[in-house]
Amino acid sequence: MGVKTKIMSDHFKRDCFEILTRRAAAGEIDRRSFVKAAALLLSVPVAMRAKMAFAGDQLVIANWGGDAIEAFQKAFGERFTQETGIAVRIDGSGPTEGAIKAQITSGKVIWDVVDADANLGIAFGKEGVLEALDYNVIDRAKIRKGYDYEFGTAGYFFSYVLAYDSAKFSDEAPKSPADFWNVDKFPGKRTMYKWMNGMLEAALLADGVKPEELYPLNIERALAKIEELKPHIISFWGSGAESQQLLLEGEATMGYIWNTRAILLGRDTSDQIKWGYEGGFLNSSTWITPKGNPAGRDNAMRFIASSQDALSQVALFDLLGNGPANPQADALIPDDKKALNCVSPEAEAKQVTLSAEWYADNYSSALEKFLALVSK
């Protein structure tokens, strides 16, 4: 009889718990009451409690780590927790395509919202493993035009920009991919991005392709152009820190690096390292939500919607230098910093925007060829 009662009570508790989590997830009860009620049910078995930690009271964001962990928490996490009572936790291990696929394959999704490369939203979306975004919750007006995809929406923007050591080129500044390739006029070692984004485009532009005729990229032609420059490339940087180091220590005189790093470099060298958006390549990052995410689809959508807030977007710009995904945020940026915004209309006009659609279809095969060339 004792055993039977126990099973009954476990069932009952489980049921109570489910109701509780669902209501908490739906925002019907605040976090404090949820915790209180959950405490009453604290005799639930350990396994269930483990699940409780996974669902309901927290939302997990996957990003690329480093300073971005704290910055995401400040810019997005705190607002969301204030709005919903749901704690935001950030996993900075880096949501590479393989890592996302592993999670989906294992059937144990632990990320609710993923800061992924834009092409992945399209590619994984086609495979049917992502939640379609709920544009009743997410506001299309708060997304730059063309970035409200079915399975993802821009979280922020960043650029690959041409940065150079102004002490080495005092007469004339390199401004374009053609200058980057011109080793006679601008001698010195270069550095390029190891994971290819933007580099093929730079090569093609340097080779005379018109910006509007870039896509679909002619990979072979781009690679041939890169091979030409390869003896002058000191290093293919794989991390932001690496690119910064190369220019800072004078190992490279010129490089295609992230604008966020370029901003830091300018600051740290009192503008000896100069850069601009001219000849740069604009890229977006995308919020995606894998199907079966632990906090539920609704919470993920609410987080994405909350992150669109112009103040949050400006906060992220302040902390990391990422361009706001919400166009209304541009106006909130202080005047002296407006020029740093990679996605302002002026900056956008100077740059080529990378085509997420092209990368969705071609990234893997092109990257393999690119890396084969790099490591030849």
Check: CB of residue 118 under 8 Å from CB of residue 90: no
User: In the complex, what is the shortest distance from the CB of residue 238 to other proteins, in angstroms, rounded to a whole number?
Assistant: 6
Q: How far apart are CA 61 and CA 302, in angstroms?
A: 13
Per CB under 8 A, contacts with other proteins among 262-281 are: 268
User: In the complex, what is the shortest distance from the CB of residue 65 to other proteins, in angstroms, rounded to a whole number?
Assistant: 4
**Among 89, 185, 291, 338, which residue interacts with other proteins (rule: CB under 8 A)?**
89
Q: What share of the chain is helix, strand, coil (3-state, %, to 5)?
A: 50, 15, 30
Q: How far apart are CA 83 and CA 314, in angstroms?
A: 18
Q: Which stretch binds other proteins (CB under 8 A): 14-22, 24-32, 298-306, 364-372?
A: 364-372
User: In the complex, what is the shortest distance from the CB of residue 302 to other proteins, in angstroms, rounded to a whole number?
Assistant: 20
Give the Å distances, CA to CA, from 52 to 34, 64, 107, 220. 11, 26, 18, 52
Contacts of range 72-78, beta carbons closer than 8 Å, 24 or more positions apart: 72/115, 72/316, 74/315, 74/319, 75/307, 75/312, 75/313, 75/315, 75/316, 75/319, 76/303, 76/306, 76/307, 76/312, 76/316
Task: Tell me: does residue 46 bind other proteins (CB under 8 A).
Answer: yes
User: In the complex, what is the shortest distance from the CB of residue 269 to other proteins, in angstroms, rounded to a whole number?
Assistant: 11
Q: How far apart are CA 52 and CA 46, in angstroms?
A: 10
Task: Tell me: does residue 73 bind other proteins (CB under 8 A).
Answer: no
Tell whether omega for the bond before 187 is within 30 degrees of 0, i.e. cis: no
Candidates 203, 163, 216, 204; CA nearest to 363 is 216
Task: Tell me: does residue 69 bind other proteins (CB under 8 A).
Answer: yes
Burial class (CB in 10 A: 0-12, 13-18, 19+), 74: middle
Partners of 191 in the β-ladder:
235, 255
Q: Which stretch binds other proteins (CB under 8 A): 13-21, 95-103, 130-138, 321-329?
A: 95-103
**Among 67, 83, 139, 278, which residue interacts with other proteins (rule: CB under 8 A)?**
67
Task: Tell me: does residue 188 bind other proteins (CB under 8 A).
Answer: no
Q: Which stretch binds other proteins (CB under 8 A): 127-135, 136-144, 215-223, 238-246?
A: 238-246
What would the DSSP string read from start to end of 123-190? HHHHHT-BPPP-TTTS-GGGS-TT-B-SS-EEEEEEEEEEEEETTT--SS---SHHHHH-TTTS-S-E
Retrieve residue 97's tokens. 């395509």
Task: Tell me: does residue 236 bind other proteins (CB under 8 A).
Answer: yes
Task: Tell me: does residue 227 bind other proteins (CB under 8 A).
Answer: no
Task: Tell me: does residue 9 bind other proteins (CB under 8 A).
Answer: no
Task: Tell me: does residue 10 bind other proteins (CB under 8 A).
Answer: no
Task: Tell me: does residue 110 bind other proteins (CB under 8 A).
Answer: yes
Nearer to other proteins, 27 or 240 (CB): 240
Task: Tell me: does residue 167 bind other proteins (CB under 8 A).
Answer: no
Nearer to other proteins, 178 or 374 (CB): 374
Other C-beta atoms lying within 10 Å of the C-beta of residue 47: 8
Nearer to other proteins, 260 or 307 (CB): 260
**Among 35, 93, 126, 216, which residue interacts with other proteins (rule: CB under 8 A)?**
93
**Among 43, 82, 106, 136, which residue interacts with other proteins (rule: CB under 8 A)?**
106
Task: Tell me: does residue 87 bind other proteins (CB under 8 A).
Answer: no
Task: Tell me: does residue 16 bind other proteins (CB under 8 A).
Answer: no
Binding site for other proteins (CB under 8 A): 46-47, 50, 60, 64-69, 89-94, 96-99, 101-102, 105-108, 110, 194-195, 234-242, 244-245, 248-251, 268, 363-365, 367-368, 371-372, 374-376
